[in-house]
Structure 1
């Protein structure tokens, strides 16, 4: 067994020892939701390995440098093993241009164990927007160990996890559920898509933007830009479906279905646009004010640098006065000498004449 193998064995033993030290009540929470990155007391007690930290840093850098379309991440500033991810729904799906927020956390022995992931866009655990995305935030993906199928392997990455989740946001998500490859009732797939189109607009656009702290600030700025870019599309979807208002929505995977309310969503979207643009204008005006202040300060500094001080002015005046006095004295000397020379010349002429 080489040195690296010994190190890995020791790290695994240390990990198990620390897990065994966790109080029973905390472990009960972990075991109740072993998939939840927000309740990971078993990981809190462990120090991430050097391999773990290097691997996470490399994978984050790779995604930030060349992120797949519709995927944005923001590493947690206080814990590099925790990553905030935003997925913008793919085109031609009931998730198109909606915003879906996930929290991913890597284990201390990453990449030898899979990350944990929680879906946060659930309107306070009240809606299920996909057969594989539960109301309580559980994300059912086989590589995360939360459903049957291909399991995690050390060669997989954070990008693999996010892309697997993004693939759930498909054109016909009804068929994502095990045993639902065919419709159990005629029209279920269409009814489900219509419900999702409404609920994703309500929750994954309106609520996500109306709640200012729904995501980290960097991801919120991305959402605002995307919202303004796709605003006309959102309005088009609402106006196209206002005839459904008041009708019952259908969801084969949940009983908590309300009524279509596209007119209400339309009003919320319009209000959001107005508020966001006002904030943007205010921000731009404030930036211009700051810029003007900086320019004025810069001009004042330049003027101060180029303008002599009061002491310098006084000194220059004194020098000028002294120069004037010197010149006046010189002129007087010249005038006196001139008179002397003139008198001397007259005397010489007289002598010449007498001789």
Structure 2
């Protein structure tokens, strides 16, 4: 059984990937003073305009940017979490302040990327590096399928176990962020947030169900792919409990945004029940085959021993 997870109302409205707006009131660095904000005939202004042109022409489909007419030293970008990662369908906002770039990802407002000079590796080159490179690096090097592997000083034998646990934590936090964004979407992205979660709500809810029931490894859910029945993934009680809680919160938030989800979730529950039944049937079938094989082995040993004894 498969579910159609696409938006039943049709294609979403086109939201411009790059646009210059006026309201920067909720930007993280709106109160920061920049002495470089002078006239248009300055190197700073020319550099910013160059960056804007690059962004306008080259933004990947999953990155959206807003610049500010009266504060060219500020920029806000959102990256849509990619499929095949624990960040899938999440929206991750970054506020930039020039020339002191400081995107807010961790609680202290820093992120480990060499291009931002916060980690070893190729650093920011004033005459070559661009904001586009920063955004693409965030997307590919930070919001990837195995973010735990970015951590330094890890012990190889336990990579996979810790990575899976890390991905579980990441997805739970991403779900919490989704609820918060629907309650208080960033300025100039209100329409985008509403449309995005109207489109992706079905996929997100289906993924939550699949993860909490152990049908799919966290971060590997695919649209309209059904669930995996051959072998369930081991799910901790803590993660299962957290996902049930987040599922309820997401459902309530998504339904306020799109009431048609009630019918979808009824169908989704039916899919989970069918999945559980198929898993149980396969387990019972395997057990029956095992017992039959074991019985044959025992029977064979019995007659072999009996034959030796008779001789």
State whether residues 34 and 73 of structure 2, in contact with CA within 8 Å, keep that contact through their aligned partners in structure 1: no
Q: Distance in 2 between matches of 1:116 and 1:247?
A: 41
Q: How many residues align?
A: 208
Q: CA deviation at 1:272?
A: 2.1
Q: CA deviation at 1:170?
A: 0.8
1:188 alignment counterpart: 162
1:157 alignment counterpart: 130
State whether residues 194 and 257 of structure 2, in contact with CA within 8 Å, keep that contact through their aligned partners in structure 1: yes
1:232 alignment counterpart: 202
Q: CA deviation at 1:165?
A: 1.1
- Superposed, 1:273-284 pairs within 5 Å as 273-277=254-258
State whether residues 73 and 86 of structure 1, in contact with CA within 8 Å, keep that contact through their aligned partners in structure 2: yes
Q: Distance in 2 between matches of 1:51 and 1:241?
A: 51
- Superposed, 1:149-228 pairs within 5 Å as 149-153=121-125, 154-167=127-140, 168-180=142-154, 182=156, 184=158, 187-203=161-177, 205-212=178-185, 215-217=186-188, 219-228=189-198
Radius of gyration: which is bigger?
Answer: 1
- Superposed, 1:297-336 pairs within 5 Å as none
Residue 138 of structure 2 is aligned to residue 147 of structure 1? no
- Superposed, 1:1-355 pairs within 5 Å as 38=29, 44-47=34-37, 50-107=42-99, 115-119=100-104, 133-153=105-125, 154-167=127-140, 168-180=142-154, 182=156, 184=158, 187-203=161-177, 205-212=178-185, 215-217=186-188, 219-243=189-213, 247-248=237-238, 260-277=241-258
The structure 1 segments of at least 4 consecutive aligned residues displaced by more than 4 Å after TM superposition are: 183-186, 243-246
Give me the CA root mean square deviation.
2.7
Q: CA deviation at 1:185?
A: 6.2
| TM-score normalized with structure 1 length | 0.53
Structure with the bigger percentage of helix: 1
Q: CA deviation at 1:81?
A: 1.4
Q: Distance in 1 between matches of 2:30 and 2:112?
A: 17
Deviations 1:53-81 (A, max 9, x none): 12212322332344212100001343111
Change (3 A) 1:181 1:155: farther
Q: Distance in 2 between matches of 1:187 and 1:228?
A: 34
State whether residues 83 and 105 of structure 1, in contact with CA within 8 Å, keep that contact through their aligned partners in structure 2: yes
| TM-score normalized with structure 2 length | 0.60
RCO comparison, higher one (Cα < 8 Å, 6+) = 2
> 1:156 aligns to what SS in structure 2?
coil
Change (3 A) 1:181 1:225: farther
